[in-house]
A and B are shown apart, each in its own frame.
Chain A
Amino acid sequence: MRALEVDNLRKEFETKTGPLFRKKRETITAVDGVSFAIDRGEIFSLLGPNGAGKTTTIKMLATLLIPTAGTARVFGHDVVREEATVRRLMTTVLPGERTLFWKLTVKENLRYFGSLYGLTKAYTERRIAELISFFGMEEKANALVERLSTGQRQKIVLSRALLPDPQLILLDEPTLGLDPNAARQLRELIRSVRDQGKTVLLTTHYMYEADELSDRVAIINKGRIACLDTPDQLKRSINAQKIIRAETDVWTPACSSAFEAAFPGNSIELEPDRESVRLTIMVRSGDVTIGRLASIALECGATIRTVQVDEPSLEDVFVAFTGDRAELEGESDEQSA
C-alpha cells in the first residue's frame, strides 16, 4: 500500500466580486485535477510558484478543506470519509512560526499538543524527552517559545509534528522566512526524519530545496501538475547538456538568425530588459562555446556583458514545462545558501 494516493483532486472556490448589490459570483479553480502517489519512506516535493495550488492541495490532504472532486488516500484511508483515521496517521506543519504558543515553554507546548493528539501522558513525556534530545534542544526545554530563535522554533514545530510518531508528514513551505543557515539545518532535519522511516510530502517554491531534498518532485503550476519525476530525470527530460546564460546590450533578429545558423538544434530564449537582454541557451547538440557565441554577438553588433554556464536546474525544467520564467522571479535562489 502506498503512503499517499491522490487521484484527480480538484478544488474550486466561489467568490463574489463587483460593487455592493451588484456582486457577481465567480468560481476560481485553485487545484485542477492533480494526481500523484507517494511511496513509503519517500520525500516528495510539490514545487511551484506562489498561487500555484500547493497549499490548497496540502490543506485538502490535511483534511482542512474538502475537495470539490477527486480522491486522496493516506495509507488507503480516504481523507474525506475517514478524516479521523487520517489525522492519526499523518501530521501537518503549516507555514509560519506562529503555530506554537509563545507564552508557553517548549515542554509545555509539546505536552499541550500531545494531549490534542490524544496521546497518553506517559508516552507523551517519553516522546518529548526523545525529541528534545534528537533536536539538541535540552537547554531550551524550559524556555518560553518567545525567547527562541526562528530556527529553534522551527525545530519545536517539527518536534510537535513527530510527537504522535506519524507515518506521513506534510510540510507546507517549511523553510519560508528562515535565514539560509536555519533553512539548511532544517533541510538536514527533514532528511533525518525520512531516515526514521517517515514519508514526507513537502511543498516549496525554492527550486534548490526541492532539488536537494526530494526523491521525486512534481512541478505544479496554475493548479495542475506540469511534470513529475526524480530531480535528475526531470533535468534530463529537458534534453539539455548545459545551459548558457548571458547578458548582452542588444540582441537583434539578425543575431538570432546567426545563432540558428551556427548552432542548429539549439534553442535560445530571450528576456529583454530596459538596458539589456538576457539569453538562456539550452545546449542540446553540437559544441556551443562561449567563444563562438561571443563572435556571433560581435558580428551582429551586440556585446556580451556577463556569461555563465550551468547544469540544467529545476528552474529550467519549470520554464521548459510551463514556459513561464516570470512566475519564478526572485524565488529560486534566496534559499540556496
Chain B
Amino acid sequence: MSRAHSAERAHPITAWLRSVWAVTWRDVRTTTRYKSWFIASLIWPIIYPFSLVFVGRGLAGPSGEGLGRFAELAQTSDYQSFIILGSLAWMFVNINLWMGGLSLMTDRTRGTFDTHWTMPVSKLSLVVGATFASLILNFVPMVISIAFYAAIGWLQVSGSPIDIAIAILLVIPFLLGFLLCFSAFTVRFREAGMLVQVMRTVFAILCGLQFPLAVLPPGLQSIGRAIPLTHFIDVVRSVVIQGASVRDHSSSIGYVAVSGLIMIVVGVLAFELVRASVRRTGLVTGY
C-alpha cells in the first residue's frame, strides 16, 4: 500500500452534497435490491385508494344522493379524484416518515449509527439524504397509482404537470424540516415506530387528506389550516382536478414556502440541540 499521498478532501460544500447523494444512493440501491419492494410498489399504490373510494361510494347512498353534499363541502363533485389524490398524499407522508424520519433509528438497529456519528460527515446530511431517497422511491408508486387510476377513468388530470411539480417542490422544505425534528426525536427517545402511526393519522385528519376539511369542527379546521400540508393538498387538488394554475393559489403557495423555510431552521436547531444533548447524556449510544 502506497504511503506517498495523503487524503485528498473535497471542498466542504462539495463534500456535503456528495455525502447527501451517497446516503440517497445507499438507500435507493439497498431498497431496490429487495425484489419484494418492486412487488409491493406495484400493488400498494393501486389497492390502497380503492378502499377509500368504496367507502365514499357506500356513504353516498344507493343512488349517490350524498355526493351533492360532498360537492358542497369539497368544492368539487369529482369525489374519486379527490380521494385518490388525498390517498397519494397520505402515502407520500407515510413513506417519508418511515424512510426519512426513522432513518437514524434504522441506522441504530442496523448497527451503523455509531460509525456514522464518529465520521466527519454532517449528521444532518444523513437525514436529508434518506429523505431524498424516500422521495425518489415515492415517485415510483405515485406514478403507478396516477397512471392506473387515470387509465380506468377514476382520476381526471386536468392541470399542468409543471404546476403539480412546482407544488411538490415547494412542500419539500417543510417536509425536510419536519423530518429533521422527527429524527431528533428518534435520536433522543430511540423508539418512534408508534409515533409514525400517530403522526400519519394526525396529518390524515387535520389536513383533510381523505375527506373535505369542512367536516371537521371549526377548532380542528383552524389547526389544520395552519399545517402547510393542508395548503399543499388543496393546491394539488385544485391544479389536478380543476385545471387551476399554482399562480391562482399564490397565498397558499407562499404560506407553504415560507413555513417550509421556518420549519427547516427549526428542524436544524432541534436536531443540533438534541445531538449535543445525547452526546452529553450518553443516549447517543445504545439501543
Chain A facing B: main interface SS: mixed
Separation of A88 and B285 alpha carbons in the complex (Å): 21
* B112 contacts across to A, CB distance below 8 A: 98-101
Contact of A196 among B1, B6, B30, B33 (CB under 8 A): B1
The A100-141 residues at the B interface (CB cut-off 8 A) are 100-101, 103-104, 108, 111-113, 115-123, 126-127, 130-131, 133-134
Residue A301 lies at the interface, judged by CB distance under 8 Å to chain B: no
* B7 contacts across to A, CB distance below 8 A: 117, 119, 123, 127, 163-165
* A309 contacts across to B, CB distance below 8 A: none
Smallest distance from the beta carbon of A76 to chain B beta carbons, Å?
A: 17
**Do B1 and A118 touch across chains, with their CB atoms under 8 A apart?**
no
Residue A66 lies at the interface, judged by CB distance under 8 Å to chain B: yes
| Cβ proximity bits A173-209 to B, threshold 8 Å, 1 near / 0 not | 0000000000000000000000011000000000000
Question: Which 7 A-B residue pairs are closest in the complex by CB-CB distance?
Answer: A98-B111, A115-B22, A118-B15, A123-B8, A116-B121, A87-B120, A134-B1
Q: Which residues of A contact B (CB under 8 A)?
A: 11, 13-14, 59, 62-66, 84, 87-88, 91-92, 94, 96, 98-101, 103-104, 108, 111-113, 115-123, 126-127, 130-131, 133-134, 144, 163-165, 196-197
* A59 contacts across to B, CB distance below 8 A: 114, 285
Separation of A87 and B118 alpha carbons in the complex (Å): 7
Number of interface residues of B (CB under 8 A): 40
**Do B33 and A92 touch across chains, with their CB atoms under 8 A apart?**
no
**Do A118 and B121 touch across chains, with their CB atoms under 8 A apart?**
yes
Residue B51 lies at the interface, judged by CB distance under 8 Å to chain A: no
**Do B285 and A64 touch across chains, with their CB atoms under 8 A apart?**
yes
**Do A120 and B9 touch across chains, with their CB atoms under 8 A apart?**
yes
Separation of A1 and B42 alpha carbons in the complex (Å): 60
| Cβ proximity bits B253-287 to A, threshold 8 Å, 1 near / 0 not | 00000000000000000000000100111101100
Known contacts being A14-B281, A98-B110, A123-B7, is A117 close to B119, with CB within 8 Å?
yes
Separation of A63 and B23 alpha carbons in the complex (Å): 21
* B203 contacts across to A, CB distance below 8 A: none
What are 25 A-B pairs with beta-carbon distances under 8 A? A64-B117, A64-B285, A65-B280, A66-B276, A66-B280, A99-B111, A101-B26, A101-B30, A101-B112, A103-B34, A113-B119, A115-B15, A115-B19, A115-B121, A116-B22, A116-B116, A116-B120, A118-B12, A118-B19, A119-B10, A120-B8, A120-B10, A121-B18, A165-B6, A196-B1
* B1 contacts across to A, CB distance below 8 A: 130-131, 133-134, 196
Smallest distance from the beta carbon of A330 to chain B beta carbons, Å?
A: 24
Contact of B118 among A64, A134, A197 (CB under 8 A): A64
Interface centre among A65, A111, A130 (most CB of B within 10 A): A65
Interface centre among A98, A103, A116, A120 (most CB of B within 10 A): A116
**Do B8 and A87 touch across chains, with their CB atoms under 8 A apart?**
no
**Do A103 and B33 touch across chains, with their CB atoms under 8 A apart?**
yes
Separation of A84 and B12 alpha carbons in the complex (Å): 12
The B118-164 residues at the A interface (CB cut-off 8 A) are 118-121
Residue B247 lies at the interface, judged by CB distance under 8 Å to chain A: no
**Do B9 and A119 touch across chains, with their CB atoms under 8 A apart?**
yes
Q: Which residue of A lies closest to B10 (CB)?
A: A120
Separation of A99 and B119 alpha carbons in the complex (Å): 12
Additional pairs, 13, CB under 8 Å, beyond known A87-B120, A94-B115: A13-B281, A13-B282, A64-B117, A98-B111, A99-B111, A101-B112, A116-B22, A116-B120, A116-B121, A117-B7, A121-B10, A123-B8, A196-B3
